[in-house]
Structures are given as C-alpha cells and as structure tokens.
Amino acid sequence: MIPTSEVAICNLALAHLGESPIVTLLDANEKARSLNRIFTFTRDAVLRGKDWKFAKVKAVLATISGVTIPGWEYVYGYPVKCLCVRRVFTDIESQDPPKIEYETLYVPSLSRKVIVTNEEQAYVAYTYQIENAELFDMSFNMALSFLLASQVAKPLTANDDTAKLMLQIYGSLIGDAARINDSESYKKPIESSSIEESRG
C-alpha cells in the first residue's frame, strides 16, 4: 500500500485543476481553506456511497433496555462512527447471511440513533468512518480527489465547465472503483435444491 495523507489527496485534486500544491490544510491561502472546509464531509460522502471493503466492519449489536419502539421487539445501539448500515443479520457463521427486517431511528429521549429489529441477537455490517488516509484504497483516493476538485473548481478557477468536467470524471471513476472493490471478495454461489428448482 502506498502511504498517503489528506494533504496528498488534496494536492492531487489541485493538480487536476492545474493548481500548485499546498503544504498543509492550515496554509493561509484560499486553496487550503477551501479544501479544509469540505474534506471531511466529502470523504464521508464517498465512504457512505459504496460498500467499501477497506471500511467494512461486522459487529454484534448492543441491546438497549428500557426503550420501547412500536412495531419492534428489540432496540440496539447504532454503531459508533457508522456512516451507513449495510446489513443486519443473525447468522454470524454464514459468509453471506440473509438480511433480517430492521429500521434505523432517532430516539429523542436517548438523544441518539438506534437500530430496531424483531430478532433477539443481531449483528450488523456497516461502513466505518475511517479517518486515517493511509488505509484508503487507491481507487477511492483517485475518485475522492476528483470530487474535491469539482467542489473547489469554481472558487479557485471561476470556471463552471471545469467543475462539471471534474464531476463527470468522478462519476466515471467511482463506478470503476466500485467494480474493483467488489472483486476483493468471493463467495460461492448458493446452490438451489432440486425442490426449489422444480418450483421454478
């Protein structure tokens, strides 16, 4: 893995725009200020947008007692630094466990989000808010750099066409990155039984 950093990703974004690099995101110039304002939100949006393997976490859900949600039997705490719940399941041994019914809600009395299900012991697969850029996938970095470039193109270049081009390239790259991401795992296809086949 090639070491990288937030500044390296931001400088890649500036390179797409033909701009000189910055030293830190705290530099006293418009480039650094513009990127510093949007980096965290943009990074998290790209993380949330796909089920990235490098940011995937599987964990047991922690039960919250003393709280009742109409229509649901069990209330669980929403995982810390969870950007997006991908699946809630009960079969922890399975490589591709079937999803169970669930809902994510905000509970005002708790001042927090929760996950509700009708299963007594549930697990969750989710996208974690990774902040260490050294853990990012290279294709993720490239896509992120173009989205950053699209957002700072207008204030830095005053050119709407450049901003649109950067966004178009991001759209293309994020699709390629998703395909690469999906290739980093393999699960055997589930074989249907003869009874199931006869029903089909």
pLDDT range class, residue 96, cuts 50, 70, 90: confident
pTM: 0.85
> CA separation (Å) from 84 to 52, 115, 131, 199?
11, 12, 15, 36
Per-residue pLDDT of 39-82, as tens digits, reads 999 999 999 999 999 999 999 999 999 999 999 999 999 999 99
Each residue's pLDDT tens digit, 123-169? 999 999 999 999 999 999 999 999 999 999 999 999 999 999 999 99
Whole-angstrom distance, CA of residue 22 vs CA of residue 157: 16
* Predicted confidence (pLDDT) at residue 189 exceeds the cutoff of 80: no
The CB density around residue 82, as the number of other CB atoms within 10 Å, is 19
